[in-house]
Amino acid sequence: MVPLYKIFNISKRRNNLADTTRERWSSRTAFLFAAIGSAVGLGNVWRFPYMAYDNGGGAFLVAWMIGLLVLGIPWLMMEFGLGKMFQKGAPGAFAGIGRKWEWLGWWPVWVAFLIVAYYAVVIAWALRYAISSFTMQWGTGEAAAQSTGDFFYGTILNLSSGPTDFGGMEWLTLGMLGLIWIVLFIIMFKGANVIGKVAIYTVVIPWILLMVLLIRGLTLPGAMEGLNYYLNPDWSALLTGDIWFAAFSQIAFTLSVGMAGMYAYGSFLAKKADVNNNAMITGFANNATSFLAGFAVFSTLGFLASSLSVAVPDVADSGLGLAFITFPSAISMMPAANGFIGALFFLTLFFLGIDSAFFLAHGGVIAPLRDKFGGKLWKWTAGVSIVGFLAGAIFCTQAGLYWLDMVDRAVSFYGLLLTGALSCIVVGWFWKPQILRENLNATSDVKIGAWWDWLIKLVVPIALFFVMIYGGFMNDIPNAYEGYQVGPFNGSHILWLILGVGLIISFALQMVRTRGEEA
Please report, as ranges, the residues that interact with other proteins according to CB under 8 A: 27-29, 57-58, 61, 65, 224, 227-228, 230-233, 269-270, 272-274, 277, 280-281, 284-285, 287-288, 291, 443-446
Shortest reach from residue 222's CB to other proteins, in Å: 12
How far is 133 from 415, CA to CA, in rounded Å?
A: 35
Looking at beta carbons only, is 112 or 269 nearer to other proteins? 269
Cite the DSSP H helix spans in 359-399.
367-373, 377-393
Using the minimum distance from each CB to other proteins, give the nearer residue, 284 or 465.
284
Length of the chain, in residues: 519
Q: How far is CA 193 from the centre of its chain?
A: 22
Residues near 155 by beta carbon (within 8 Å), at least 6 away in sequence: 137, 138
Number of neighbours of residue 169 by Cβ within 10 angstroms: 15
Angle 512-513-517 from CA coordinates, rounded to 5°: 160
Q: Shortest Cβ distance from residue 496 to other proteins (Å)?
A: 39
> Torsions phi, psi of 234, nearest 5?
-115, 90
For residues 235 and 430, which CB has a smaller minimum distance to other proteins in the complex? Answer: 235
Nearer to other proteins among residue 270 and residue 469 (C-beta): 270
* Total Cβ atoms within 10 A of residue 493: 17
CB of 280 to other proteins, least distance (A): 5
Nearest distance from residue 288's CB to other proteins, in Å? 4
Distance of CA 41 to the CA centre of its chain: 5
- Judged by beta carbon, residue 224 or residue 474, the one nearer other proteins is 224
Residue 287 or 385 with smaller CB distance to other proteins:
287
Closest distance to other proteins from the beta carbon of 85 (Å): 16
Query: Which is nearer to other proteins, 61 or 257 (by Cβ)?
Result: 61
Among left, alpha and beta (phi > 0; psi -120 to 50; other), residue 87 is left
* Closer Cβ to other proteins, 182 or 239, answer by number: 239
For residue 273, the minimal CB distance to other proteins (Å) is: 5
How many angstroms separate the Cα of 499 from the Cα of each of 412, 495, 504? Answer: 11, 6, 9
Which ranges constitute the DSSP H helices of 430-490? 433-443, 451-454, 460-468, 474-476
The alpha carbon torsion through 79, 73, 190, 177 (nearest 10 deg) reads 100
Least distance from other proteins to the Cβ atom of residue 445, Å: 4
Distance from C-alpha of 458 to C-alpha of 30, rounded to nearest angstrom: 33
Nearer to other proteins, 230 or 253 (CB): 230
- Name 397's bridge partners: 169
Q: Is 59 helix (H, G, I), strand (E, B) or coil?
A: helix
DSSP secondary structure code for residue 12 in this structure = S
Tell me the C-alpha distance between 369 and 365, whole Å: 6
Nearest distance from residue 47's CB to other proteins, in Å?
18
Minimum CB distance to other proteins, residue 155 (Å): 37
